[in-house]
Structure 1
Amino acid sequence: MKKVIMGLSLCLLMGLTACSNGGKKNTTDETTTSSSISKEQSEKYEAAIDDGKQAIVDKEISKAVASFQLALEYKTDDREANQLISQAELYQEALALTEDKEYAQALKKLTKLKETRGGSTALKQYGTNLTDKISKEVKAEREETKKRKATEESKQAEKEKNSTEESKEAEKKEETDPSKEAAPAANSLWNAQKSSALGAFMISWGQTMGQAYIEYSPSSELDYYGVKFPSTFAAGNIAVNGAPASVQWSTDGSASNVYNVVAIYSDVHTTSAMERHLYLFAIYNGQPVALVTMQNQGNNENLIYFTPTQNADLSNGFAQIIGG
């Protein structure tokens, strides 16, 4: 009887040992399989990221975005992949806007790309290059517009001159004298040539300051926090050095005792920074003055407060242009 009991006990002990060993083997197999899958996903993730970065170098931006999106399938919500996708898409959008000549919107996208931390330095450099390209295109278009306008004005002046000659034969010699015809335009406080010079200056000065400025005028008004410039001048809501001032849009800067605004520039639509600038380039009693405001809220006086700029390079540059 004792032998039977001992035999049963031995079998039971061997069975428990076998079960225990079998359980350990299964657990080990599962761990090995899980580790293998994790390693495989990590390798595929790294390969997708590397492919995307190479596509950026090759300037195949759509291919780069696709690679970074593939990386997210292997590592969901990965910060690096999401950041690279965001930068690549900003650059793509800026390219498309530039092709459509939507320069202000393109510069917004490029500013946002430039301000992102980390990510692709190559994409940021592409953004810088595109910003320079936009500046050159804006300058070229402005020059072309100035030339076209000057040609139209010249034709109109010639037409008026001929009409005057027909009705006033006695003044024919004086009116057809080329030196007298050209002198007022060349010596005036403000003209097309000086406007063009200021445009070129603002591009180079803006790049020095890390800013991008757009020119505004009655035919292309600025929406500055809901206030339209220059049409708002008629409302008398401009203050200079803390006091209400007489301000008007001018094409020659010749009126007395009033700020004759001959040019308006702002970066309000090209930056995401809190500090945004609005410059009024004016002539007051023959003297150039560059007024600036960064006001972004209303007040009880319903005034927009301007002061002369403290930037010596800007004020001196404007003064030199006015001095001819």
Structure 2
Amino acid sequence: MKKVLIGVSSFLLVGLVTGCSNDNGTTSTTSEVTATTTSDKKQAEYDSAMAKGKEAIVDKDMSKAIAAFQLALEYNKDSKDAPILIEQSKLYKEVVSLKEKKDYSKALKKLTELTDAKDGSQALKQYGKELTEEINKEVIKEREESKKESEKEAVPKKEVAETKTTVEETITPKWNPQKKAELAAFMASWGTTMGQNYREYYPGNEVSFYGTYYPSVLNNNTYDGVPIQWSYDGMTANTHNVVGIYSDIDTAVPRKEMGNHLYLFVLYNGQPSVLITMQNQGNNENVLYFDQTQNADLINGFTQIVGN
């Protein structure tokens, strides 16, 4: 009896061990199958999203393409293609917007980035080249239209420019520091030719010509019935504007009691003249006498300076 029981027990033990061994194998196989199924499903979803994104590119629907590639990244975070396609799609979308705004310079710069990319969508690169051609044509067209408009407006612009020049000439001073310096140089040269030495006089640096002070004596006086005054710019209308005073009275050695010269360089409504006096004493009329100079070189020199 004991032998039989032992045999049965052995049989049962072997059976139990064998049964346990079969259960572990089944669990391991099921886990592997489940993992494989999940991985395959993610890959399928990834492939589907990528395919939809590429279809959207063909349709030039970049918003849809970007959304599809972003979905693909959710199924495969390690994807190398999806991020590149997202950036290219965004770039193309931005270029289209810049083109609509006619920001051609920036659009062409962005297109260079798209078409020069080594990886990514060949379709997007081709679209980029096509857009580049379109933008270049629009740029050329706008330049031609602008040129035509400029040619049409050429005559009116010229008239406006001439009017503006006339106004500027009206308000431009007839006398200025540059001309003042030119007159000083001319008088030094002309005086040497005449064997005379002339000095310049002006407010704050007056000359006493036989007891009469210039230019202060000019205030509230007239010449030939017309007001005469000192002027820095020669612009007062209907007035003898004295812009320069020169005399040799302070340079003669020995000082002469008569025979000295005093010149007034005058602009009357823009016209130059040179007045001279050699009057060395007063008179009953209490009048200072000036005449137009007869020296052609002097008047021609002054006229040339005024006209410069």
TM-score (norm 1): 0.47
Higher relative contact order (CA 8 A, sep 6+): 1
Task: Look at both structures and tell me which one has the larger radius of gyration over its CA atoms.
Answer: 2
Give the alignment's TM-score, normalised by structure 2: 0.49
